[in-house]
Each structure stands twice: as C-alpha cells, then as structure tokens.
Amino acid sequence: MRKRNVVIMLCLLLVLTACSSGKTEVPQAVTSTPGTSSPEVKAEPTKAYILTKVEAGTELPGDKEVGDFIKSETNVEPVMIKPPAGTYDEKLNIMLASDDPLDAFIVGDWTVFQKKGMIQPLNDLLKITPELVNNYTKEEWDAVTDKKTGNIYAIPFASTPLGNAPRIRKDWLDALGLQVPTTLDELDQVLEAFKKTDKFGNNVIPLATHLSFSQLDRAFAGLFTKHGDGNWIDTDGSVKPAVMDPDYKDFIAKMAEWYSKGYIWKEAFSQEYTVINDLVSQNRVGVLASWISVGLTGIETLMQSDPKAQYVFLDKFDGPAGSAYSLRLPERQGIAISVKSKHAEAVMKFFDWSVSSKKNRNVIDFGLENKHWKWIDEEKGIIEKIQGAEKQYSAMYSLVQGALSLGSSDDTISGKLWTDFYNFVSNPALDLKKPADYGVNYDEVSITGAVPAAGDIDKFRDKWLVKFITGQEPLSKWDGFIRDLGKMGLDKMIAERTKQYNEQ
C-alpha cells in the first residue's frame, strides 16, 4: 500500500463509554499581582514521548514546521523517538528498563506487554478523547480489550474489514451487455462469457489469483460456509477451522470446477502476486480475486493507456450460504501507554486531535495545508499534493489512524482507486460474516506451542487444497486429507483453542 496515502478504516461508530463532549485542555497558568488583574498566560507545552518505528535519520525540513503547528493547536509537543534501522525492539526494551521518559509506543500484541505489567488500561483516558473513541470500530476496540476485565490496553491500528472482495471489469461487462453479478450463478455466467468472447483479445484470463491460497479462500469461501473463512463450533463444542467445516468441501469443489473450465488462471498457484500486475496491465484479466493492493499498479498502468478501463467491486455477492464476504479480524497490535508514563493525558490529547477533523488527519499524513497539500474537494477527501512536498515532510507524526471518513487521497489514478476501495468497505450494507468464536482473545503462543510441527500444518493444507482444485488429487480423498491434518497436530491445536474458548 502507498505509504501515508490514505487512512485504512471502516465507518461504523462505537460508543465505548460515556465520553465528555469537549476536549480536555492543558491547565492554564495564571499570574497576577495584588490589586491588579492580568490576562491568562498559556502554560508551556507538555512534551509527550512517543517511540515510533520511523527510522532515525529520516527527518525532513518540514517536520519541525508540522511539529510547531501541532504544538500551537494542542499545547502538546510530541517528541517522536526514532530508533536506528532494525533496532525498534531493542530500543523499546532499553527504554522500558531504564528511566528514559516514555509515554507511548507501538505493540505487536498488547497481551504480551499487559501480562508483564508494562502498559496501563486506557478506559479512563478514553473518557477525555471522544474523537479517538468514535473513529474506530467495535471490532477494532474488541481486539485490544481484555474480555475478562473489560480493560482496553491499546489504541487499535486501523483494520481493513474486507480486503479480498472480487473486482471485475465493468467496461467488459458493458461491452457484452451484462450486469455486475450479485450471485454465484451470475458470476458463473460472466466467467463463461469472458472465456468465450474474442472482443478483448485471445489471451483473456477470466479470473486471476496467485500463489497465496488465502486470497481465493477469503474471496469465495463465504459463499458456501456459514462463518466464511473463520472458525466454527462443531456439535461437540470444539472450535474448528474453516477447512474442517463440512460445507468447505463444496467451496473447493466449485473452485475445481472453475479451474477445469479454464476460468481460473492456470498458473495461479505457482506464481507470486507481482505477476498479477503484468497480467492486468496487459488488459487480460476479467476478475481479480486477490488482496486489494495486488494488481493496483497494473490497473493504474492500464488506465493510463485506456482511461475507459474500469474495475469495480461487487457490492452484493451471495451464494448458497449467503454473503461471500468474511470479516477480516483486526490484529492485537496498536499503540499502548506505558505504566511509567508521566504525560499520558497529553499524548492522548495529541492522538485525539489527530483524528478530530479531515484537516488534522491530513496534517499528520501530508504536512501543512497550502504548503504541502491543498484541497480539491474537501467533502470527498480529495487533495492535491504540492510539487516537491514529499521531500519536505516525512509524515513522522502520522501514527494514529482515524475513520475512513477522515482519510484523503490525491487526485491521481492511484488515489481514485484507493478512494473507490475505501468507499466500498465503508458501505454499512455489506454483509460481513464473523467467525463463531468472534471476540475471543486466544493465546496463540500456547496453541502453536502444543504442536511442534504447527508451522507445517498450513503448508500441508494449502498444498492439498491446490491439488484438489487443479485435479492432481480427486476429492474422494478429502476425508483422508482431514484426518491427516488432525494427525499432524491440528487436533491438539483445536483442543487447546477450545479450552481457551470455554474459559472466556
């Protein structure tokens, strides 16, 4: 994804707790002499020390200007601590063990730090940050919440709820007199039409995906399974992965049918994602079943030579089990506040200001208005980056990510493509399936630790799924394949996951 281009968010709002209607202000210092009155004197800005993953030595001339602007707006001076390249974890450990001032830092998994008592709950602090609260989704807050205590331990990273929705050539559909498909049966007809037509050349690929099987899985498994590509609860109460869902086999059978008919690119499961860009730019791909950023460069190149070329998402896409779309669960990463923080309120005030308006969001992402960027359409969040601005501001203050409605993109082909994506995923009408164990925070270390060969299970699974789809192995071997997964250690992982599920 393009760095700092746009904010990755949903538009669903969350009311975490009773929030104050105004922003907390840094206390004002007042001086006076007997018998006289004098105007209030603004207190000195409070420094907030933040360890960032932005590498040392990346400073640009405009960074100080942006910092000064933030300071004038919030009376908080964010001090961004940049570690040398590749030393973030080392730097963090040193700071946590020393007396160095540290208020906030990035965590890959908040539970690791919470168990060690290194971070503090944010519930009370979030009462003074209404913008911060409302600019994340319930799912994102759930991912950083201890379900046993209700304590929130991090400001979540923005999460794309749906990143693998199929994209289809709308201009090709128009040329063939077809509508954008909304059901599996309609997509079948479209793929067959793309395969048979000679209007778009002789090398048309009806549907392209790539080596990572999860791309195909996330795009279409939900057509056949109740919980999409997420976990489900068996009749015995055990928590099992999607591949063991009885209906998942129907999904694989359908993909095998598509492959045998020539709908799926024959080299899909032997090629890396980078090749997709070439195929798209060559005007060969009818449907993209991949992560959003895969093929984006190819679409941009294609549209430069053919402005009428257009890929669109399927706003509604249903199959035998309903919606195809599965909720992509947020990670447990985010920004945590150290237990030894002396300026927790100040750093939270800066974060809250960052997501309180589109302009503020743009300031931390792109720099100062009318110097580094300017509005083209504020309502739609479209900007123009002023020439040379990328060499003036390093986006060092862009840490907290707010809601999609605050994100901006530039007036380029790439910017418009990203805008289309964020408009699509922000659609409240999207039917996103959740796993049956949604909301449970698993200790994945314990789960994988129970099985020495845990890392090989996914590889074995994907290898056999590809064999089934490409016809190298018949589906009559499906039951044996599932048993083999269990023998490799999946049964032990299921037992540990089920144990944790029942505990929570």
Asked if 182 and 317 count as a contact pair (C-beta separation under 8 A), the reply is: yes
Out of 410, 434, 457, a domain closes at: 410
Could you give the number of structural domains in the chain?
2
Mean pLDDT computed over 232-237: 97
- In this structure, the number of other CB atoms found within 10 A of the CB of residue 180 comes to 17
Give the pLDDT confidence score for residue 4 in this predicted structure. Answer: 37
Say yes or no: 276 and 181 in one domain. yes
| CATH number of the domain enclosing 236 | 3.40.190.10
* Strands 285-288, 205-208: pairing kind: parallel
Q: Does residue 6 surpass a pLDDT of 50?
A: no
Q: Token pair 């800005």 is at which residue? A: 45
Report the predicted TM-score, pTM, of the whole model to 2 decimal places: 0.81
Say yes or no: 182 and 288 in one domain. yes
272, burial (CB in 10 Å: exposed 0-12, middle 13-18, buried 19+) = exposed
Tell me the C-alpha distance between 439 and 329, whole Å: 9
Say yes or no: 291 and 425 in one domain. yes
Say yes or no: 189 and 309 in one domain. yes
Q: How confident is the model at residue 425 (pLDDT cuts 50, 70, 90)?
A: confident
Out of 353, 385, 410, a domain closes at: 410
Higher pLDDT, 502 or 42: 502
Whether 31 maps to a domain, the answer reads no
Grouping H, G, I as helix, E, B as strand and the rest as coil, residue 235 is coil
Mean pLDDT computed over 93-117: 95
Say yes or no: 377 and 361 in one domain. yes
Say yes or no: 262 and 242 in one domain. yes
Say yes or no: 176 and 104 in one domain. no
- 461-493 per-residue burial string, b: 16 or more CB within 10 A, e: under 16: bbebbbbbbbeebeeeebeebbeebeebbbeeb
List the one residue out of 314, 288, 198, 207 whose CA is nearest residue 254: 207
369-390 pLDDT per residue, tens: 999 999 999 988 899 999 887 7
Whether 38 maps to a domain, the answer reads no
Say yes or no: 172 and 185 in one domain. yes
172, burial (CB in 10 Å: exposed 0-12, middle 13-18, buried 19+) = buried
Whether 117 maps to a domain, the answer reads yes
For the chain, give the mean pLDDT: 89
Whether 467 maps to a domain, the answer reads yes
Say yes or no: 189 and 258 in one domain. yes
Whether 13 maps to a domain, the answer reads no
Give the pLDDT confidence score for residue 5 in this predicted structure. Answer: 40
Q: Does residue 236 surpass a pLDDT of 80?
A: yes
Q: How confident is the model at residue 402 (pLDDT cuts 50, 70, 90)?
A: low
Out of 410, 432, 455, a domain closes at: 410
Q: Does residue 457 surpass a pLDDT of 50?
A: yes
Asked if 225 and 251 count as a contact pair (C-beta separation under 8 A), the reply is: yes
Tell me the C-alpha distance between 359 and 357, whole Å: 5
Say yes or no: 237 and 146 in one domain. no
Say yes or no: 151 and 65 in one domain. yes
Tell me the C-alpha distance between 161 and 144, whole Å: 16
Whether 27 maps to a domain, the answer reads no
Q: Does residue 466 surpass a pLDDT of 70?
A: yes
Range of the domain at 98: 46-161+331-410
Q: How confident is the model at residue 404 (pLDDT cuts 50, 70, 90)?
A: low
Whether 171 maps to a domain, the answer reads yes
Say yes or no: 443 and 320 in one domain. yes
Give the pLDDT confidence score for residue 390 in this predicted structure. Answer: 77
Q: How confident is the model at residue 21 (pLDDT cuts 50, 70, 90)?
A: very low
Whether 503 maps to a domain, the answer reads yes
- DSSP 3-state helix, strand, coil percentages of the chain (rounded to 5)? 40, 15, 45
